[in-house]
Structure 1
């Protein structure tokens, strides 16, 4: 799942309104966050490149998140991440 734009990521300028969800990651595990209002073409391309890197890393089995957590992509743990940012992904081997 890709979250594009400030409104999708954090609620945008109306974040404190009762009718606005405070980010899509609160109810959908989100893989890539692309900021901007509106999203710039360069940011969109960068987001797709990072998604491509994440997909390649998943094929190898292990993903390291920004928080330093190792996720075993082969066991379906990606759905249990609870919106943890994963857009800077590197394939790693567990120690």
Structure 2
């Protein structure tokens, strides 16, 4: 009985230790903005989206790779262009 309890406890401790992410900065990434992942129930207006993109870009290379930062910057530029197009009179 004691061996079974000790073995189950060991299995549980090893199993929970394995679920810790290898990179702590990975949890700081906004996967919804970066790759349209994990976006359940996230609906932003255009201003909030621009603000969120800008905040993620400000995190810099501590959180994102240079390629990811470039992608976020491109999405911010596209969003700003969309806003300009929407604000043009006569549309």
Place the TM-score, normalised by the shorter chain, in its bin.
0.3 to 0.5
Larger strand percent:
1
Question: Would you tell me which structure has more helix in proportion to its own residues?
Answer: 2
Q: If the length of structure 1 is used for normalisation, what is the TM-score?
A: 0.31
Give the TM-score taking structure 2 as reference length. Answer: 0.32
Q: Which structure has the greater CA radius of gyration? A: 2
